Amino acid sequence: MLTRNLGAIAARLAESATLALADWGALADWAAANFDAETAEQLNSLIIGLYEEFDDAAAAYIPVGMVRDRDIAPDMSVGTLKALLRRDYGWALRVDLRHSSARQHFWYHSIDNGEQRRGERVVDPHEEFESFIDHLGLIQRLGAWAASFDDAAVVADMLIAEPDLCYAIARVQYMQGLPYAEIRDNLLHRDFLPAHLIRFFLAMLGIDGSNPLSIRYVRGVFFQGLPMPDDLRHGTGGEWRFPILPAGTPAKEHAA
C-alpha cells in the first residue's frame, strides 16, 4: 500500500514542471487528506531530507519536544480526571485482569547488564525482584478509586485518602494527548510475545526486513541498500530508501 500511495504522490508531483518551496506544504496537506498516516509521514520525511541544513538544525529540537516533566495537578477536578481516563485509557479499563493468565509472567532486571528478563510466576525464581510492568492494573485501580469520588472533588482529595496513587495520577495527567505514550497490551499476560514489541520498537529506529527468530529476539537489517562512497561518487544508489526486490527472489523470502 505504501508503494502504491507514494507512486500516486509522485504522479501528482510530475504534473507540475517545477514545484516552489511554498508548494511542499500543499502537497503534504493533500497527502494527509488522501492517504493513511504512514504515507503522509513518509512524505514528510522525504521532503525534510531535501533540505539538509534545515534537517540538521531541526534535529536538535526533537529530544527537546520529547521531554516532559512528570508532575501532578492537585487542583484538577476528579470529573476531569475521569474524562482523561475514559478518553486516553478506555482500552486499559476494558481489559479483563481477573483470570490467572492475565498475570502469568513477571519481569525483572538481570544482574549482569540490567536487561529486562521475563519469568513465569511460581515456576521461575526471582519473582521478589519484579519490576513495575503492570500499567493496566495501575490504571484500573485508579479508575475504580476515582469512581468513588464525586466529580466536583479535586485530585488532592483522592491523594489524601490514597497517597500511593500519586504516580498513577501523574502518569495520566502528564501523558495526556500523547497517543503513542503507552504500550497498549498486557505485558504480563501468558500470550504476550516480547518479539512483537521489539519488532515495533526497532521499526521506529528504521530496521528493515525484521524477522522474529523466537518469541524474544528479532533479526533485521539497518540501512538496507545504503549506497557506498563509490556509489555516491558515480551518482548511483539514489533509490536506496526503497530497495528493489532482486529478480527471482521467492515471495516467501521477501515477506520475511
Q: Is residue 41 part of a domain?
A: yes
Mean pLDDT of 236-253: 60
Predicted TM-score of the model (pTM): 0.70
Q: Is residue 31 part of a domain?
A: yes
Higher local confidence (pLDDT), 70 or 152: 152
Distance CA 216, CA 17 (A): 50
Distance CA 40, CA 33 (A): 9
Q: Among residues 174, 195, 216, which one ends one of the domains?
A: 174
| Residue 231 CB contacts under 8 Å (≥ 6 apart), including other chains | 237
**CB of 207 within 8 A of CB of 222?**
yes
Are residue 39 and residue 89 in the same domain, yes or no?
A: no
Q: Is residue 200 part of a domain?
A: no
Are residue 60 and residue 126 in the same domain, yes or no?
A: no
Q: Is residue 239 part of a domain?
A: no
Higher local confidence (pLDDT), 20 or 212: 212
Domain count, the chain: 2
Lowest mean pLDDT among 36-50, 81-95, 153-167: 36-50
Q: Among residues 44, 67, 90, which one ends one of the domains?
A: 67
Q: Is residue 255 part of a domain?
A: no
Q: Among residues 36, 67, 98, which one ends one of the domains?
A: 67
| Residue-by-residue DSSP string for 30-54 | HHHHHS-HHHHHHHHHHHHHT-HHH
Q: Tens digit of pLDDT for each residue in 158-215?
A: 999 999 999 999 999 999 888 888 999 999 999 998 888 888 888 878 787 777 777 7
Q: Is residue 124 part of a domain?
A: yes
| Range of the structural domain that residue 133 is part of | 78-174
Distance CA 187, CA 184 (A): 9
pLDDT band at 40 (very low <50, low <70, confident <90, very high): very high
pLDDT at 241: 63
Q: Tens digit of pLDDT for each residue in 93-123?
A: 999 999 999 999 999 988 888 888 889 998 9
Q: What is the CA radius of gyration of the chain?
A: 24
Are residue 60 and residue 92 in the same domain, yes or no?
A: no
Percentage of residues in the chain with pLDDT exceeding 70?
89
Are residue 49 and residue 89 in the same domain, yes or no?
A: no
Beta strands in the chain (DSSP E): 105-109, 116-120, 207-212, 218-222
Q: Is residue 166 part of a domain?
A: yes
Are residue 134 and residue 57 in the same domain, yes or no?
A: no
Q: Is residue 86 part of a domain?
A: yes
Beta strands in 172-243 (DSSP E): 207-212, 218-222
